[in-house]
Structure 1
Amino acid sequence: MAGPEASPSARVATASDVDRIAAVLARAFEDDPVWSWILPDEASRPRRLAAAFAILLREVHLRHGASEHSGRFDDIESAALWDPPGAWRLPLATQARQLVPFVRAFGTRLPAALRALGRIERHHPKEPHWYLAYLGTDPQAQGNGLGSVLLRSRLDRCDEAGTPAYLESSKESNVPYYERFGFRVTRELRLPGDGAPPVWLMWRDPGAG
Structure 2
Amino acid sequence: MNPDNDTPALRIAGPGDIDTVADIVADAFDHLEVIHFLVPDPSRRRTVARDWYRLYIAHAISGAGQVVMTADASAAAVWFDRTGKITEPDDYTRRLAELAGDDLHRFQDLDLQMEAHHPTEAHWHLLFLAVRPGRWSQGLGSVLMDDTHSRLDGGGIPAYLEATSEQNRRLYRRHGYMDMRPPVITVSADAVLYRMWRPVQNR
Normalized against structure 1, the TM-score is what?
0.87
The aligned counterpart of 2:57 is 57
The aligned counterpart of 2:184 is 189
The answer on whether the counterparts of 2:183 and 2:194 sit within 8 Å (CA) in structure 1 is yes
| C-alpha displacement of 1:51 | 1.2
| C-alpha displacement of 1:115 | 0.8
* CA distance 1:129–1:115, shift in 2 (3 Å): same
In 1, the alpha carbon distance for the partners of 2:87 and 2:116 equals: 13
% identical equivalent positions: 26
Cα distance per residue 1:97-117 (max 9 Å; x no partner): 123332232211111111112
* CA distance 1:190–1:133, shift in 2 (3 Å): closer
The answer on whether the counterparts of 2:25 and 2:131 sit within 8 Å (CA) in structure 1 is yes
Cα distance per residue 1:123-176 (max 9 Å; x no partner): 111111111111110101112221111100110111111211111112222100
The aligned counterpart of 1:85 is 82
Q: What secondary structure, in the 3-state scheme, does the structure 1 residue paired with 2:77 have?
A: strand
In 2, the alpha carbon distance for the partners of 1:102 and 1:118 equals: 14
The aligned counterpart of 1:13 is 13
The answer on whether the counterparts of 1:10 and 1:69 sit within 8 Å (CA) in structure 2 is yes
**RMSD of equivalent CA atoms:** 2.3
Query: For residue 179 of structure 1, what is the amino acid of its counterpart?
Result: R
| C-alpha displacement of 1:179 | 0.2
Mapped pair 1:138 → 2:135 = no
The answer on whether the counterparts of 1:130 and 1:163 sit within 8 Å (CA) in structure 2 is yes
The aligned counterpart of 2:28 is 28
In 2, the alpha carbon distance for the partners of 1:30 and 1:88 equals: 31
Mapped pair 1:148 → 2:148 = no
In 1, the alpha carbon distance for the partners of 2:186 and 2:24 equals: 25
Any unmatched runs of 5+ in structure 1?
A: none
The aligned counterpart of 2:197 is 203
* CA distance 1:167–1:63, shift in 2 (3 Å): same
The answer on whether the counterparts of 2:24 and 2:131 sit within 8 Å (CA) in structure 1 is yes
The answer on whether the counterparts of 1:80 and 1:150 sit within 8 Å (CA) in structure 2 is yes
Mapped pair 1:121 → 2:120 = no
| C-alpha displacement of 1:83 | 1.2
Cα distance per residue 1:23-78 (max 9 Å; x no partner): 110011111121111111122211112111112122x21122521111xxx32111
| C-alpha displacement of 1:198 | 1.7
Q: What secondary structure, in the 3-state scheme, does the structure 1 residue paired with 2:26 have?
A: helix
* CA distance 1:133–1:85, shift in 2 (3 Å): same
Q: What secondary structure, in the 3-state scheme, does the structure 1 residue paired with 2:127 have?
A: strand
The aligned counterpart of 1:76 is 73
| C-alpha displacement of 1:199 | 1.0
Mapped pair 1:98 → 2:97 = no
* Structure with more strand by fraction: 2
Any unmatched runs of 5+ in structure 2?
A: none
Q: How many residues align?
A: 201
In 2, the alpha carbon distance for the partners of 1:17 and 1:138 equals: 15
Q: What secondary structure, in the 3-state scheme, does the structure 2 residue paired with 1:162 have?
A: coil
The aligned counterpart of 2:43 is 43
